Amino acid sequence: MIYKGRLLFFISFFTFSISFSQQTEVLTHHMSAVEKELMQNYSRSFTETPPPTGEVRNIAEWESMESVLVAYTGGFGVPVSLIAEMSQHCGITTIVANASEKTTVHGIYSSNGVNLENCTYVYKDPNTYWTRDYSPWYIAVNDNEVAIINFPYNRPRPNDNDVPILMANELGIDLYGMDVTHTGGNYMCDGYGMAASTDLVWEDNTSQTHAEIDTKMQDYLGIDTYHVTLDPLDEYIKHIDCWGKYLDVDKVIITQVPVTDYRYADYEAVATYFSGQNCSWGYPYEVIRVQAADFNENEENPYTNSLILNNKVFVPQTGSDLDDDAIAVYEAAMPGYEIFGVYSGSWINSDALHCRTHGVADREMLYIEHYPLYGDLTFQTEYTIEADVVSYGGSPITGGFPKLYYQQNSGSWEEEVMINTSSNTYSATIPGLNGVNNVAYYIYAENNNNKTESHPRMGVADPHLFSYSGGSIGVNEYTDNMSLNIFPNPSDGAVTLKTTLASGFVSVYSINGQQVYSAAFNSPSNGINISELISGIYIVKVESGNVVLYKKLLVSK
């Protein structure tokens, strides 16, 4: 059932088992006692290959996916109605034991509205349905060829361990083996050479130094900065997707618990850590918080364990009073995406929707690499926007693309065809204007294979932003305009402006270009009074006919 942009999905919880040395053990997301014992002497046949040659880029979750991987183990781990929804616009790849089980699953799909034309099957009798943890990691080599990185899974589950090999064969792409024991639930990357995990990665690889692990992450995945953090959840699984998630290159969502929760300080510490880091685009992360219940309330709120799949985001729901608030957080943080709530009685804090699904990177994606302009910039007569645009499947970029779309000061959107300057690099410019200016922009591309892509991903709904002060607003003109005086020292935030101009219009802007005050004036005998400015640097602009005056204003309350 769909209403108000929300899907309600239902699933019954089930378990399954495998045999360990004549002993049947029920498997859960956590490592069982028997598995822990087995892991002490567990030997998996794993061959580390040389790393890829050339430039390597780890593909992020929000990039184009051709399919999503789920496993059937007598059930799917996720609601069939969710699979049906995903199948309408994306492939569904299901791991099954054999042809007989494929027939069973195909029948279930057919009875539940799954788009059968988008369904494929691979055979590997899965031990569990936690495809996130054992699925391959996808890379792009030289930004034109998708390949797979295999790693030793940190569970003694041999069929699950071999899924990366299975998928490489199925997709017909290169497979590289990286000897770093890991799990997908404890890994997130941004597509620009940055990734994060909890310190579980160190615990699982005690024979390697931290520096050796970092080197392998760089060689095989192209990770230049690897954030390894504490685990605030205290649920003993130590997977980062249980409490945090990259939503984009510059956005990270982190669970927030009430101050009464004994884990509160740990959650705030990890949020503070990310807020103090620069994203790969060169400026601080936007840290978004989503509220969970107090641990003592015994309520599950696995809201960060969501799945980004192309232009949709699927957020776990448990029936909590906080469910609606979580949806609202995602809607505010990810404008342009369709946000769906996914209900299941089986979701728990350390195991929900993200854990049981995994995207399969689009081998023919259209990729745009661009480092955006950001913040308050110095004045230039024009601002150059440069990007690399690559069609991984080899299909040519459509004539007249890529395009730069930009808007200055909430005006109309302008369109500029970007010029191919070298190889895959394209360039266009945004003209500098007089005064205080706010700019929004995005890049859009198409190829002859009907692939489209925007940068940032949602284009006009969530564009790149920057501001600048230009033209006649030179630094000296702020201080040398004696026709505009500001007094007294605005220590309380109250400002009086005096001008020799008889009438006109006065505006006050924050340093990033946001207008905070505007009013007309006519022969002010006592000056123009502005009150309640907060601490900061402002730009005061007075206009009268063809005369425009500027002053810098520092408020320190």
d(CA 430, CA 465): 12
Verdict on whether the full-model pTM lies above 0.85: no
What pLDDT does 476 receive?
A: 34
3-state DSSP call for residue 110? helix
Q: What phi and psi, each to the nearest 5 degrees, are found at residue 303? A: -70, -25
Domain locations along the chain: 2-35+51-361, 366-470, 475-555
d(CA 197, CA 186): 5
Of residues 552 and 436, more confidently modeled: 436
Say which CATH class 366-470 falls into.
mainly beta
Q: Encoding tokens for residue 555?
A: 């408020």
Beta-bridge partner residues of 19: 24
Angle at alpha carbon of residue 276, lines to 275 and 281, rounded to 5° = 80
SS3 content of the chain, % helix, strand, coil (to 5): 20, 40, 45
Nearest to 529 by CA among 476, 493, 478, 491: 493
What pLDDT does 532 receive?
A: 66
Nearest to 37 by CA among 45, 29, 49, 25: 25
Dihedral sign (CA 103, 107, 109, 115): positive
d(CA 144, CA 69): 23
Instruction: Identify the weakest region by mean pLDDT among 96-110, 116-130, 159-173, 468-482.
Output: 468-482
Mean pLDDT on 342-353: 92
Say which CATH class 475-555 falls into.
mainly beta
> For the segment 145-194, what is each residue's pLDDT rounded down to a tens digit?
999 999 999 998 999 999 999 999 999 999 999 999 999 999 999 999 99
What pLDDT does 485 receive?
A: 59
Whether the pLDDT of residue 513 is over 80: the answer is no
What pLDDT does 492 receive?
A: 56
Give me the percent of the chain exceeding a pLDDT of 70.
87
Of residues 486 and 268, more confidently modeled: 268
Tokens 């859960």 belong to: 28
Q: What is the DSSP letter of 182?
A: B
Q: Encoding tokens for residue 181?
A: 């024991």
What pLDDT does 550 receive?
A: 72
Instruction: Identify the weakest region by mean pLDDT among 100-114, 430-444, 503-517.
Output: 503-517
Whether the pLDDT of residue 473 is over 50: the answer is no
pLDDT band with cut points at 50, 70 and 90 for residue 505:
confident
Residues 6+ apart with CB under 8 A from 171: 146, 148, 360, 363
Of residues 369 and 492, more confidently modeled: 369
Whether the pLDDT of residue 540 is over 50: the answer is yes
Catalytic residues: 355
Residue type, 412: S
Angle, nearest 10°, between helix axes 99-111 and 80-87? Answer: 80
Domains 366-470 and 475-555 share a fold: yes
Query: What b/e readout covers 118-127, taking b as 16+ CB neighbours within 10 angstroms?
Result: bbebbebebb
d(CA 308, CA 533): 40
Of residues 483 and 331, more confidently modeled: 331
> For the segment 61-89, what is each residue's pLDDT rounded down to a tens digit?
999 999 999 999 999 999 999 999 999 99
What pLDDT does 543 receive?
A: 82
What Rg, from alpha-carbon coordinates, does the chain have?
27
CATH, range 2-35+51-361: 3.75.10.10
Dihedral sign (CA 271, 333, 344, 134): negative
Mean pLDDT on 280-302: 93
Whether the pLDDT of residue 481 is over 90: the answer is no
Task: Strands of 190-271 (E only): list them.
Answer: 194-198, 225-229, 244-248, 251-256
